[in-house]
Amino acid sequence: MISVEVDNRSGVAVDDGGAVELAGRVLRAEGIDEGELGIAFVGLDEMRELKRDHLGVDEATDVLSFPIDGRDDVLEGVPRALGDVVLCPQVVGDEWRWPLTHGLLHLLGYDHGDAMDAREAELLQ
């Protein structure tokens, strides 16, 4: 089972249920049937701080990914901690599906490029 924890710190209403449903669909399509995932919606200031602290760029962005186990082997009996995807609704607006999918693929080891672009397009059809 995939366990998804959603934390909305953005101060804006978000579609928690839709985010959980999309995350489960993307992860299952990628062969992940078990694991723990965090999705956080944050405001502009927090997103800017996260990007500055982790990537050295002082600006807000749409999505950041913080992978933990990804596709790595985990010890038997230990739940797979996929990691966290952080989205900023003030940047993504109503178009959160692509950034969430993008962030999830980063958790699973995809890098920017043609393979990632093609997989995103396929998953969002």
d(CA 103, CA 77): 26
Q: How high is the pLDDT of residue 71?
A: 82
Run of H or E residues at 3:
strand 2-9
Task: Give the residue from 116, 89, 91 showing the smallest Cα distance to 101.
Answer: 116
Contact 90, 62 (CB under 8 A): no
Taken in order of first residue, the domains within the chain and their CATH numbers are 2-123 (3.40.390.30)
Per-residue pLDDT of the chain (125 residues; tens, 9 = 90+): 899 999 999 999 999 999 999 999 999 999 998 899 999 999 999 999 999 999 999 999 999 999 998 888 888 888 889 999 999 999 998 889 999 999 999 999 999 999 999 999 999 98
The pTM of the full predicted model, rounded to 2 decimals, is 0.92
